[in-house]
A and B are shown apart, each in its own frame.
Chain A
């Protein structure tokens, strides 16, 4: 079976496909979030060093991972948009930015909530925290640059270039705990050494991460659909053939 995937690069074809996918991603996200929260609060044991405060990890780490991952995905779509001059790619990049910014804000906020009881400070200017704060400004920059330019095509291209240049910060955030002496702890999960956590803690964290990832997909797809309606002047919504028909009659 061969599927012509390239046809979905047209916003008109992508719109109904995204509409069919959203409920699935949303449902699985809700289920995984429920299981993840249950494991995080009722199955995972108390940490011997940090007591119950460590449970913030179940939102902090998924939010922080998503903040970095979404930035890279946004930059990739921006790059594809610039390279192929594809409208849908720019729309994807546009749709990712607010969710990425939200997760960056949440990573910083939950980090402060974790820092206060364990370090005794809401905020320190260490490399990990500072570079994550810069990521928040980058998301804000991408969005503000877009809204400040009236011409859509120029707005697309300018914010895409901004997003691409800023991607250099993502490895800096990720490796900051290795490169510099930070107050922020090192990676609890790594490709080379595996996990340093109890198995149930790790499972709960990974479930929450997967849930956040699926939530992001659902929300971003639905934002892309909004953007398609706002930007394309064709009757694209599904389930209302009468309206389309009326329009056809009027014309």
Chain B
């Protein structure tokens, strides 16, 4: 292992800004994608349920 301390680890030999931006943005994108899919799934199911059970003019046609 090459890190003497936590601050050395976060400094990344002076490249901390570049390294951590890369990793954090990648992680955020992935988390965002998963959350967006959950919401999309919930919305699709809710709409589907409403369409099947609602008996509104959407299904009457």
Partner-B contacts on A (CB < 8 A): 41-43, 45-46, 51-53, 55-56, 59-60, 63, 98-99, 102, 105-106, 109-110, 113-114, 116-117, 215, 219, 222-223, 225-226, 229-230, 233, 235, 237, 243, 246-247, 250
Contacts and interface: CB of A to CB of B under 8 A. Distances in A.
A59 B13 CA distance: 18
A63 B27 CA distance: 12
Contacts of B15: 51-53, 55, 117
A42 B3 contact: yes
A246 B53 contact: yes
Given A52-B19, A222-B41, A246-B53, 5 more contacts: A59-B26, A60-B22, A219-B37, A235-B48, A237-B45
B53 A106 contact: no
Given A51-B13, A226-B41, A237-B45, A106 B1 contact: no
B14 interface: yes
- Would you list the 4 A-B pairs with minimal beta carbon distance, nearest first? A52-B13, A53-B15, A110-B22, A52-B12
A243 B19 contact: no
A43 to B, nearest CB: 8
Interface residues of B, number: 30
Contact of A113 (B22, B29, B52): B22
Interface in B13-45: 13-15, 18-19, 21-23, 25-26, 29-30, 33-34, 37, 40-41, 44-45
B44 A230 contact: yes
Given A59-B23, A225-B41, A53 B18 contact: yes
Main secondary structure of the interface of A (DSSP, over half): helix
Contacts of B44: 226, 229-230
A55 to B, nearest CB: 5
Contacts of A53: 12-13, 15, 18-19
A116 B22 contact: no
Contacts of A226: 37, 40-41, 44
Nearest to B41: A226
B40 to A, nearest CB: 5
Given A226-B37, A235-B52, A250-B55, A110 B26 contact: yes
B22 A46 contact: no
Given A46-B13, A219-B37, A56 B19 contact: yes
A45 B1 CA distance: 8
Nearest to B30: A215
Contacts of A99: 33
A113 B34 contact: no
Contacts of A60: 22
Contact of B49 (A43, A105, A243): A243
